[in-house]
Amino acid sequence: MLYLPHTGEDIASMLQVVGVDDLDGLFSTVPEDCRCKGDLNLPEQLSEWELNDHMEALSHSMAVSPEYRVFAGAGSYEHFIPASVSYLLGRSEFVTSYTPYQPEMSQGTLQAIYEYQTLAARLLGMEITTASHYDGATALAESLLMAIRVTRRRKVATSSLIHPVYRQVVKTYFEPTGYEVVELGYLKNGVTDLAELDDMDDLAAVAVQSPNFFGCIENLQAVGEKAHDKEALFIASFTEALAYGLLKNPGSQGADIACGEGQSLGIPRSFGGPALGMLASIKKFMRSLPGRLVGQTKDLDGKRGFVLTLATREQHIRREKATSNICTNNSLCALAAAMYMASVGGTGIRELARLNHDKAEYLKKELKKAGFTITFDSPTFNEFVVEFPDGFEATYKRLLEKKIVPGISLAPYYPELANHYLLCVTETMSRDDMDILVREIKS
C-alpha cells in the first residue's frame, strides 16, 4: 500500500478549517509539561525501496522462519492452510466487512456469518453457535458468565487442566463480580479429578478442556453426568478445534455449552494473533448467548435472505440488558474458519485429525525408545508431556541454536512438574523432522 503524505497546502487548509494557526495549536489543551519537546530519537528516513529492503531483511531474521522446527502448541497450532482460503479471504469485499449495523444492507456479510455458524455447529455437535469472540479465553469466560445468568448461581468449577492463560482471563473477568471460581485438581494419569465435585454444591457450571493442557483426552460424558447430577451446566472447552475431526464432539457427550479456540481452522499463528473465539450451546439457552446470531428467512417475494436475529451486545441494546461487552467484530476470522472447513470438508478434517494423532504417536514412541518418560498414560491427540532429565535447560538452549524448539516447559504453570515439557506435532512436521529432534535430544 502506497503512503502519500499531506502536502503543506493540505495541512494549512485543514488547520484553517479547525481554527488554529499551526500544528502546535492542535495540542494546546495538553499541559506543557506533558508534551514531548525536541526531536524524536529516530533513524534517518529511508526511500520506499530502501524501506522495502529493510523490511525484507527483518523478515528473514525472525525466529519463526521456515527452517525452524517448532514442536510447541499449547493453544496455538501450525497447520497447512489451503490456497483457496488465503486467496478468497484477501478479496476486498471480505477484508473490509464489519459489524452489520444495517443488516438488511449487508446480505453478503450476514450470509458469511450464517455459513460459519452452520459449519461450527456441525463440528462441535451443538444446536446453535454465535458469530465469534476475541479468542478461546474470552469465549470461556463469557460461557461461565452465561451459566451464572442461566442458573442464577454464583459459583463455577473449572479444571486446573484448562489452559493456564484461559484460567487467568476467567479470574480477571470474575474478580470484580463477587462470583466464586474453584479449581479441580488432576489425577496421575493426566485428567481432571472429578471426585472433587462430590463435596461441591450450588454450582452454576463445571468447565473441562479436552484435549486438556497436558494433551490428554478427558471423558466428557462422565464430566457431563457429574455436572448434571449437581444441576449445573457442563461447559466443554478446547484449544484445538481440529481434534473434533477425530474425537467425539462436545454435543454428543452432553455438553450444554462448547467454547474454545478456532485458530487451527485456517488462521495463521502470526505471532499469537488474531484468534477466533468459538462459542456454541444448546438451543434452550439461545437468548442467554453473548454476541450476535444470524438467521435465515424469506422476504415478501419468497426469496431467501439473512437477518441479524439476535444481537445481545451493548452496541445494539441497552447496556444493562447486554449479555456481552465484547465490542469488536471477529467476522473476518470466523469467515476464514468457514472457508477452511468448506475447503477441507468433513472427510478432509477427519484425515487431518488422524494425521495429527498418528504423527504425535510416532514421536511419542520414538522418545520412549530413546529412554525418555511419557508422563501421563491417558490417550492424547497431537500433544503430550515428556519428562526430561535434570539439566535439560542446557540442551534446550543448544536445540534453539540449531533452530529446533523442543516443546514448552510446564514448570512456570505447574511448579510440581519441573523438567516436564509439552510437545506438539501437527501435519506440518515430517518424519525426518521428528527423527532429528529425537537424535539431537539424545546427543
For the entire predicted model, the pTM comes to 0.85
CATH architecture of 69-81+345-442: Alpha-Beta Complex (3.90)
Return the CATH fold of 83-341.
Answer: Aspartate Aminotransferase; domain 2 (3.40.640)
One-character DSSP codes across 124-192:
HT-SEE-S-BS-HHHHHHHHHHHHHHHH---EEEEETTS-HHHHHHHHHHHTTTT-EEEEE-B-TTSSB
Query: Whole-number mean pLDDT of the chain?
Result: 90
DSSP state of 443: -
Residues 6+ apart with CB under 8 A from 218: 159, 161, 191, 192, 208, 209, 210, 211, 212
- Map out the domains of the chain as residue ranges: 69-81+345-442, 83-341
Contact 157, 183 (CB under 8 A): yes
C-alpha cell at 292: 450476535
**Mean pLDDT, to the nearest integer, of 393-401?**
93
> Tell me, what's the pLDDT at 319?
60
Q: Are 89 and 95 in contact (CB under 8 A)?
A: yes
Interval 375-381 mean pLDDT? 96
pLDDT in tens, 319-344: 666 666 565 557 889 999 999 999 99
pLDDT interval class at 154 (50, 70, 90): very high
- Reported as a pLDDT band with limits 50, 70 and 90, residue 56 is confident
DSSP label at residue 19: T
Q: Which three cell numbers stand for residue 142?
A: 463469557
